[in-house]
Amino acid sequence: MVVPLQKARGLIAPRPRVPLTQAQRRGQRCIKIAAASGGGLVLLGGLWIVVTGFMARTELLAARADLSRLQSEINAGDLAAAQATAEDLAGHARQAYHDTSGPAWALAAAVPVGGDPVRTIRAIASSGEALGRDALPALIAARLNLAMLHNPDDSINIAAVNAATLCYL
């Protein structure tokens, strides 16, 4: 037997609405504000990661271009230009590292499922910064020292070799 909807409504007694107390309304309002604030912080953090991620990408692409130029300058023997390019590369890498090393990036990298790409970007920026800070200046200095050991006629400067040897004794 099917009971029409109007008759079924009459069979179930409506529950009386109990008005909320002022404390309950205040508690609900606090919960809504906290949820909206938390959601807003997550949204702003995500936006910050996207913006600084694009900024870091731009810096890393500039560092990659500088690295190609640095390689050709070292191969050509233009060590003064190579030193300037190495400083530019270090600056770009340092900025990319700075862009990806804030608290929002650390929190995003700690996320178990989606944190892998963030960790990868941070590792690339950190490696580039270490390369520009430590390895490239040492490489340029080594090439400069080797250049001082050669005479213009492609012979070896024995006096410079002896001076370098005395420094290490």
In a domain, 107, yes or no: yes
In a domain, 70, yes or no: yes
- Tell me the pTM: 0.66
Q: Which residues lie below 8 Å from residue 48, measured CB to CB, with a gap of 6+?
A: 102, 104
In a domain, 157, yes or no: no
Domain extent for 108: 32-136
Evaluate whether 86 touches 132 at the Cβ level (below 8 Å): yes
Q: How many domains does the chain have?
A: 1
Tell me the backbone φ, ψ of residue 150, rounded to 5 degrees: -100, 140
Residue-level pLDDT, tens digit, the chain, 169 residues: 555 555 555 566 667 777 878 888 888 888 999 999 999 998 998 899 999 999 999 999 999 999 999 889 888 878 888 889 999 999 999 999 999 998 899 988 988 888 888 999 999 999 989 888 888 887 777 776 666 667 777 777 777 666 655 544 4
